[in-house]
Amino acid sequence: MDYSTLKGFPQGFLWGGSSSAYQCEGAWDEDGKSPSVSDTTDIPEGTTDFKVAIDHYHRYKEDIALMAEMGFNEFRFSIAWPRIIPSGDGEVNEVAVKHYHDVIDECHKYGIEPVVTLYHFDLPQCLQDRYGGWADRKCIDAFLKYCKVCFAEYGKKVKYFLTINEQNMMVLYQGHRDYKDEKTIWQANHHMLLAQSLAMQECHKMCDAKIGPAPNITAIYPATSSPEDNLAAMDFDQLRNRLFLDPACFGTYPEALLRWFTDRGVAPVVEEGDMEILKNGHPDFIAFNYYGAGCVKYVSKEEGEKAVAEAMEKKDFMTGLMTYPGLCMAVNNPLQESTSYGMGIDPVGLRITLRQLWERYHLPLIITENGCGVPDTLEDGKVHDDYRIDYLRRHIEACREAINDGVDLFGYSPWSAFDLISTHQGITKRYGFIYVDRDEFDLGTLDRYRKDSFFWYKKVIATNGEDLDDLK
C-alpha cells in the first residue's frame, strides 16, 4: 500500500550502528582472554584472521568519539564471553569486567545508549573442547553463569541486552562448531533456546534492563505461484525464522516443522520441564538482522538428495546447506538486486519482514544489522561510497513505511559503525561509515577516515530520518 503522506520516525528513535567483539576488538589473547571458536576456526584462503581485527579493544575511545560526531544515540556491541570468563564457566576475569565498564561509560559520556549482545559467535573454545559445545546441556549452565556476571556488573548501566546473535545462522549454516549429524545440530539448537530463555528470566530478576533475541530474519518468497512452491516458502519460513522466534516468544516449536523433524528421526530430546522454561522466557522486544529476502522452490526428497550430492561434489557448500530434501531448495530471485558479493538488496523485503514480525509477535522491534558490504577505495583520505548511501536510504525509507503500517520500530542500527573483519570475506568486504586503514595481511596504520556515508548518516540522524537526500 502507498500513502499520500507519511508520518516521521518517533521522537527518541535510536539511530546508531553495530559491531561484534571478535570482528573488531583484536587483542585476541591479551589481558587474560582465552581463544574463542571464532579464533580457532578455519579462515578462508586470502583473508585475514581476527587476531588484530581493527584494534577496537585499544582504540574504542577514538571510535566512540567518531560515532558521537556522527550523532549516534545508540551503539550495539558485544561482550566477549572468553574475556569475561576465560575458562568458560569458572573464574571471572576482573580486567575484562573493567574494560567493558570503561566502554559503556565512554558511550554514556556522549549520550550514546549501549545495546549489548551477550553472545556473538564467540563460544569459548575450551567449552567446545570440554563438552562438544552446545550439544551438551552443561553449556546452558555455563552461559547462564556468564550472563549473571554481565547483569550484575552492567545491568544498572545498560537498558537493552541481546541474548544470542543469529542463532539461526549458526545452526542452519553450520558456523563455528563441529556437529557431525543433523540430530546433534537440532539438539544444540534446543539447548541454546533454553539458555536464552533462562538468561531472559535472570535478566528480569536481576535488573531493570530489557532483553530480547537477535536472530537474522527475512521474508521468504516462493519461486513461482505454484501451490507447491508456496507451501515450500511457508515451510522454509518455519525453518529459517519461526523455529527461533516461536520458542522465544510463545514457548512452542512450529508444529509442522517438529513433526518433520520427528518423522526423520532428528527431533531434539526435550526433557521434562524444558517447555516450561521456554514458556517463561518473555522477551521485551525482538532485535533482528536483515540483509535481503530469500526465495525457494519445492524439491522432492529424491531431487533434493541429488542436488545436495552434486553441490557437495562441486564444493558448492552453500547450495548444499540451503537444500532440504522433501522441503525446499533456495533459488536465485531474478527480480532481486544484489551487491558485488551477491548479497540481496531488497528494501521492500525489509518492510514485509517488519510487518510479519509485528503482526505475529506484537513486540517492539529494533533492526540491529542491515548494510552494504563492498570493497571501498581510500583516495586522498576520502571514500566516495554513494552505493552505500543509496542502499541505506532505501532501507530507511522502508522502515518509515513500516512505521506508517503500524509497526512499533524503535531503532535502526546498521552493520556496521566502522569497517571490521567480515565473517567470511575478511576486511576487503567493508560495511562501515568509518574506513579503517588496513588490508588483509598488511595492518597499515589502522587510522580511521570518515567516508561520504559518515556525513550523510550524520545528516539523517540530525533530522530524525527526514532528510535522506544525497550530500550537496
Pairing of strands 328-330, 344-345: unpaired
Full DSSP string of 135-179: GSTHHHHHHHHHHHHHHHHHTTT-SEEEEEETHHHHHHTT-S---
pTM confidence score: 0.96
Contact present, 74 and 413 (Cβ < 8 Å): yes
Pairing of strands 328-330, 294-297: antiparallel
What is the 8-class DSSP label of residue 240?
I
Positions marked active-site? 166, 369
Q: What local confidence, expressed as pLDDT, does residue 179 receive?
A: 79
The amino acid that residue 414 corresponds to is: P
What is the 8-class DSSP label of residue 374?
B
Domains of the chain (ranges plus CATH)? 14-291+336-462 (3.20.20.80), 294-332 (no CATH)
Q: What local confidence, expressed as pLDDT, does residue 427 receive?
A: 97
Q: What local confidence, expressed as pLDDT, does residue 75 receive?
A: 98
Q: What local confidence, expressed as pLDDT, does residue 26 receive?
A: 98
Question: Which parts of the chain sit beneath pLDDT 50?
Answer: none
Q: What local confidence, expressed as pLDDT, does residue 344 receive?
A: 82
Contact present, 220 and 297 (Cβ < 8 Å): no
Q: What local confidence, expressed as pLDDT, does residue 317 receive?
A: 62
Q: What local confidence, expressed as pLDDT, does residue 173 receive?
A: 81
Q: How far is residue 44's CA from residue 39's CA, in Å, rounded to a whole number?
A: 13
Q: What local confidence, expressed as pLDDT, does residue 164 receive?
A: 98
What is the 8-class DSSP label of residue 188?
H
What is the 8-class DSSP label of residue 264?
T
